[in-house]
Amino acid sequence: MEYISRSNIAKMVGSTLVNASATDKCKKIISWSWEMLGSILIMMGSPISVKGLDFDDECKDKITAKKTEKEFTLVLDLDETLIHSDMERTSFLDEEILVKIGNTIEKYYVKIRPFARDFLKALSNYFELVIFTAAIKEYADKVIDYLDPSGFIKRRFYRDSCTKKDGVFYKDLTKVNSNLDKTFIIDNSLSGMSLNPQNGILIKSWYKDLKDQELKIYEAMLKKNVKPKDNIVKSISQMKRKYPKNVLN
């Protein structure tokens, strides 16, 4: 449904009512009134449904998304932040993932970082969770599907969304959310966050330490230090001062 401007109404009235009967004129005017009311409700983001209004699917999606939106968007890197993978099998990398790239199928062996699934589940209650990886879509989708079978991760950004310069892939967070007061990234790589350094929290790269507790620590830290209506840049700055011995700096 398109929003109806005054000029559009004038055009509709001019073109369709001139030769209409009195009854048809009344029907048309009632129909337009319903449409205008519907447009106003949609513009207000109202979840109210009005019998007789025909919201198309796109409008319904917008309304539903607005109802479930979280205030903050937490962007997560994938490799060495939430998982580690390699093309060589070891006893440690125990999950085999087949990735189809063009006409070839490549095998990757994957291990999930300790607490990663708990981290996603817990923080999905507070933040909209997004993956932003420099990996290609074919690989990343398979890994994310394995990592997050419950679907706590709501959106995915791949290598083709990165900004490439001198062979390095940078992540521009404004592609995820234009409001950088409410968006932040956790990444094991400084280059991943160097376009928006004030919105970045570094985490130790993870390869195989099964006693690693970083995600558990970060979960507790974020729950404690990010409050509703915060400016996330200020919150991160405060966390960096508060936890000087952590890897945040």
Among the residue ranges 27-35, 62-70, 80-88, 102-110, the one whose residues contact Mg ion (CB under 5 A): 80-88
Q: Is 79 a catalytic residue?
A: yes
Least distance from Mg ion to the Cβ atom of residue 37, Å? 49
- What are phi and psi for residue 107, nearest 5 degrees? -100, 135
Least distance from Mg ion to the Cβ atom of residue 130, Å? 15
**Contact call for residue 183 and Mg ion (CB under 5 A):** no
**Contact call for residue 128 and Mg ion (CB under 5 A):** no
Which residue, among 94, 76, 108, has the nearest Cα to 186 in the 3D structure? 76
Residue 98 class from Cβ within 10 Å (0-12 exposed, 13-18 middle, 19+ buried)? exposed
Nearer to Mg ion, 183 or 188 (CB): 188
Nearer to Mg ion, 17 or 136 (CB): 136
Give the ranges where 107-213 is alpha helix by DSSP (H).
Answer: 116-123, 137-147, 190-193
SS (H, E, C) 127-151: EEEEEECCCCHHHHHHHHHHHCCCC
Nearer to Mg ion, 35 or 139 (CB): 139
Residues 196 and 206: their CA atoms lie apart, in Å, by 22
Among 56, 61, 77, 145, the active-site one is 77
Among the residue ranges 53-61, 117-125, 183-191, 232-240, the one whose residues contact Mg ion (CB under 5 A): 183-191
**Contact call for residue 77 and Mg ion (CB under 5 A):** yes
Burial letters 157-175, b for 16+ CB under 10 A, else e: bbeebbeeeeeebbbebee
Candidate list 73, 74, 76, 79; residue touching Mg ion; CB under 5 A: 79
Among 57, 79, 148, 160, the active-site one is 79
Least distance from Mg ion to the Cβ atom of residue 187, Å? 6
Nearer to Mg ion, 85 or 189 (CB): 189
Least distance from Mg ion to the Cβ atom of residue 164, Å? 16
Look up tokens 């990735």; give the residue: 99
Which residue, among 76, 67, 87, has the nearest Cα to 117 in the 3D structure? 76
Nearer to Mg ion, 80 or 95 (CB): 80
**Contact call for residue 80 and Mg ion (CB under 5 A):** yes
Pairing of strands 163-165, 104-112: unpaired
Binders of Mg ion among residues 186 to 225 (CB under 5 A) are 188-189
Which positions are catalytic? Answer: 77, 79
Task: Point out which residues bind Mg ion (CB under 5 A).
Answer: 77, 79-80, 188-189
